[in-house]
Amino acid sequence: MKKLFLVYSYFLYRLRATNTHGVHSPFVFNLLNDVIYNDKEYYIYNEIETLRKQLLENENTVECIDLGAGSLNSQSRKRSIKHHALFSAKPPKYAQLIFRMVNHFQPSVIIELGTSLGITTAYISKGNSKVKVITIEGCKEIADIARQNFKQLEINNVEPITGNFDSELPAILTKIKNTDFVFFDGNHRKEATLNYFYQCLEKANEHSIFIFDDIYWSLEMKDAWNEIKKNKEVTVSLDLFYMGIIFFRKEQVKQDFVIRF
Ligand SMILES: C[S@@+](CC[C@H](N)C(=O)[O-])C[C@H]1O[C@@H](n2cnc3c(N)ncnc32)[C@H](O)[C@@H]1O
């Protein structure tokens, strides 16, 4: 049922989606040209994709109790590393976009909800070696593999936290001044997503950027995305189908864009 909803939503998205030609906001127009449609091959892409390839060949299994909404592809607690690399990690196209966003906007602190094997965390961290990346993962066995992956890629600016978002996020938020950049990529339930959003919103400012993964994963996620977009603090929202991005820029007229990606 969820897969059918996804296909139907994708069809509607394709009908509405536009590229630079349909965008009149200078901020979004430049963002599309400089970041979203930037097809330059950064050298770190190859480095991280080599790691992804190794993980995709790894048949060893790990056992996890999913603290979130689970997976569309397996209900089993025991899954291979290969399975996690294939179904949990953001595909290169999206992970590389997040890298370019970090590289372009240079936030000082980044929070990622849902580390999994650390593939997207690696892209985030390489976007700016001076940024501090705090990433949370609830499954200990997976979090341990992510830690090994950070070592392999010589990543030193990531603070991996093993625990439940529900308790770890509030603890992190007491220690940071602003939520500069947050990637919400775990627990795809409406209530949980909105709860994490409102917590992070407390510390957002006009330069903050929040990215939500899988905004059409289910009707619940679509509802959550609609509520987030409507929030009065949110000025620009970009719907890339597999990902939604919001900005809080004060000088901007509130506008929602459906972008072909
Ligand atoms: C989609 S994966 C993250 C993928 C990763 N960001 C990437 O692109 O490589 C989501 C992860 O969030 C974790 N997760 C889900 N709900 C959680 C919760 N409430 N607390 C902690 N971790 C959770 C799951 O164990 C899973 O590994």
What's the confidence (pLDDT) of residue 136? Answer: 98
246 forms bridges with which residues in the sheet? 210, 237
Provide the whole-model pTM: 0.96
Helix or strand or coil: residue 11? helix
CATH number of 2-42+90-258: 3.40.50.150
Q: Does ligand 1 come within 6 angstroms of the Cβ of 212?
A: no
25 forms bridges with which residues in the sheet? none
For the CA of 166, the nearest atom of ligand 1: 19
- Residue 245 and residue 247: Cα distance in Å, rounded? 7
What's the confidence (pLDDT) of residue 145? Answer: 97
Q: Does ligand 1 come within 6 angstroms of the Cβ of 145?
A: no
Q: What is the pLDDT of residues 235-257, one digit of tens each?
A: 999 999 999 999 999 988 999 99
What is the DSSP secondary-structure string of 159-184?
EEEES-HHHHHHHHHHH-S---EEEE
What's the confidence (pLDDT) of residue 22? Answer: 82
Q: Does ligand 1 come within 6 angstroms of the Cβ of 187?
A: yes
Q: Are 99 and 127 in contact (CB under 8 A)?
A: yes
- Residue 236 and residue 169: Cα distance in Å, rounded? 25
The DSSP 8-state label assigned to residue 36 in this structure reads I
Instruction: Name the residue with the closest Cα to ligand 1, atom 16.
Output: 68
C-alpha torsion angle, residues 205, 229, 100, 11 (rounded to 10): 180
Cα of 8 from ligand 1 centre, angstroms: 25
For the CA of 164, the nearest atom of ligand 1: 20
pLDDT mean for each 10 residues of the chain (261 residues): 88 94 92 97 97 97 80 70 95 98 97 98 96 96 97 97 97 97 96 98 98 96 98 98 97 94 96
Q: Does ligand 1 come within 6 angstroms of the Cβ of 119?
A: yes
- Residue 257 and residue 71: Cα distance in Å, rounded? 28
Q: Does ligand 1 come within 6 angstroms of the Cβ of 89?
A: yes
For the CA of 187, the nearest atom of ligand 1: 16
Among candidates 219, 135, 138, 142, which has minimal Cα distance to 184? 135
**Structure-block tokens of residue 207:** 């330069």
**Structure-block tokens of residue 140:** 């200990």
Q: Give the strands of the sheet with 181-184, arranged side by side.
A: 158-162, 132-137, 109-113, 181-184, 209-213, 243-247, 236-239, 255-258
- Residue 243 and residue 211: Cα distance in Å, rounded? 7
CA atoms within 13 A on the CB side of 158: 28
Q: Angle, to 10 degrees, between the axis of helix 119-127 and the axis of helix 140-152? A: 40
Beta-carbon contacts of residue 156 (< 8 Å; ≥ 6 apart): none
